[in-house]
Chain A
Amino acid sequence: QKEVEQNSGPLSVPEGAIASLNCTYSDRGSQSFFWYRQYSGKSPELIMSIYSNGDKEDGRFTAQLNKASQYVSLLIRDSQPSDSATYLCAVNRNQGGKLIFGQGTELSVKP
C-alpha cells in the first residue's frame, strides 16, 4: 500500500464545472496536508494547506480533511483552462517537515 495515493487520471472537466481531486493516506498519525499544483515542465507550487478536520476555503479552492477516514480532497469551483495541471497531494507525518507526495492527478479543463 502506498503511503499517499491519488487517482492518476487524467480527470477531464468542462470549463465552469467543479473538479474534485481525492487523496488517501496510510499513516493515521499524519498531521499536515498540502495540495501542490504542477504545470507541465514546471516545479510544484503550494495552493492549499489544511491541518484540522473539516473544510478550508480559499477563493475557488476548497480543501477537505477527514482524519478518521484518512482522506483529503481538493475541490476547484468554476474550473478554468488555466487550472489544467497535475495536482499533487502531500502529507507530513510528524513535525519533521518531510513531505510524502502522491503520484499526482492530471486535471484537464476543456473550454
Chain B
Amino acid sequence: EAGVAQSPRYKIIEKRQSVAFWCNPISGHATLYWYQQILGQGPKLLIQFQNNGVVDDSQLPKDRFSAERLKGVDSTLKIQPAKLEDSAVYLCASSLGPSTGQETQYFGPGTRLLVL
C-alpha cells in the first residue's frame, strides 16, 4: 500500500514570494490533515479536511495561507506571501474514516520550506 505522498520535498524562497505544496493521501482515506512543524517543536495542525469539506481550520493564518481539497482526494496548501517565520516542515497526514478521535494518522515525508 502506497503511503502519503508529498511534493516538493524541499523549497527555498524569498520572503513575500508565494509557494504551494501538494499532498496525495493513502488511497481511500477520507480525512486529510496539514501540519506545520517548526524546528524543535511538535507538529501543529493547520487544517483538517473530511472528504472535500473543512473540519477544522482554526489555526490556519487565513490572511496568507489557503488550502483546498476539491475532489476529496489530493490537496494543495498555499502560502502567499511567505514570511521568515513560515520556515518549517509542512506535513500532510491522512486517516481512514470519519474522525472518531481514535484513528491512526499516517504522515507523509513532509516538505521542508526555507524562507530567506
- Give the nearest-CB partner of B103 in chain A: A97
A: contact size bracket: 20 to 34
The 6 lowest CB-CB distance pairs between A and B, nearest first, are A97-B99, A101-B42, A43-B107, A95-B101, A92-B101, A32-B101
Q: Which residues of B contact A42 (CB under 8 A)?
A: 109
Q: Which residues of A contact B101 (CB under 8 A)?
A: 31-32, 92, 94-97
CB of A44 within 8 Å of the partner chain: yes
CA distance A92 to B42 in the complex (A): 14
CB-CB contacts of A75-111 with B at 8 A, as 1s and 0s? 0000000000000101010111111111110000000
Q: Hey, which bits of chain B sit against chain A, CB under 8 A? A: 31, 33, 40-45, 48, 55-56, 91, 95, 99-110
**How would you classify the secondary structure of chain B's contact residues: helix, strand, loop or mixed?**
loop
Q: Are B41 and A98 in contact (CB under 8 A)?
A: no
Q: Are B42 and A104 in contact (CB under 8 A)?
A: yes
Q: Are A95 and B110 in contact (CB under 8 A)?
A: no
CB-CB contacts of A48-92 with B at 8 A, as 1s and 0s? 010100000000000000000000000000000000000010101
